[in-house]
Amino acid sequence: MPPRGLEPAGVALVDKPSGPSSFAVVSQIRRLTGARTGHAGTLDPFATGLLLLLSGRATKLTPWLVGLDKRYHTEIDLTCLTSTGDPEGEAVERHAPPGEEELLARLERLRGEIELPIPAASAVKIGGERAYKLARRGVEVEMPVRRSTVHALDVIAYTGEKVTLDAHVSSGTYIRSLAIALGGHCATLRRTEVGPFPVGDAVVPEAFTAERLLSEAEVLERVQAARAPGT
């Protein structure tokens, strides 16, 4: 009999709904399987889309998964900056949206290797305390800058006041930082891919069963194939 919590082993592709935290979804899957459960990157409560959850002894695969590129669809409200860079924060500035030519110029500056401040409402620790906890208390701090790679930032739809983008970015990129740099905030955010894993292969938490777990061998095969030169 395997040690307690190591089975069932594998990786779950879960389509997170808007509302619950990623940790609430992790707990939900843990209750279903009875196994130790980890994650390869969280989503904010307002966001939806793909979570990679590792079950049982497959938690040892975490180093293979946390650094994978991500893809997101986000609708950005170009008329309002919020305290968090998303709809959960308070409006701090309302303004006319940039014209189409200016928007395209801003998008071009955000492609490639970039450096942007980490949002104040993030889990990064500042002086030993989570930044979002400081922000909730109204403590203003200078947020550190993070270097990221934006492989693609393509316009899906544009209304003048809102723009919907398909963003392919390196791990650790804050889409809220991109929205702030464009002069707005993320009205919606959906993670559509993590490395070679698409959200189309995922199920909502309520539909998950242990039979949906990808085997450790399959996960490693897909990750290695995605990292192979020329892919």
Note whether 170 and 87 are within 8 A (CB): no
For residue 180, the one-letter residue type is: I
Contacts of 99 (CB under 8 A, 6+ apart): none
15 is catalytic: no
* Catalytic hit among 15, 44, 77, 86: 44
Residue 179's nearest CA partner among 45, 87, 60 is 87
Q: For 6, phi and psi rounded to 5 degrees?
A: -90, -10
Planar angle of CA 36, 38, 40, nearest 5 degrees: 160
How far is it, in rounded angstroms, from Cα 29 to Cα 62? 17
CB atoms closer than 10 angstroms to residue 142: 8
Indicate which residues carry an active-site annotation.
44
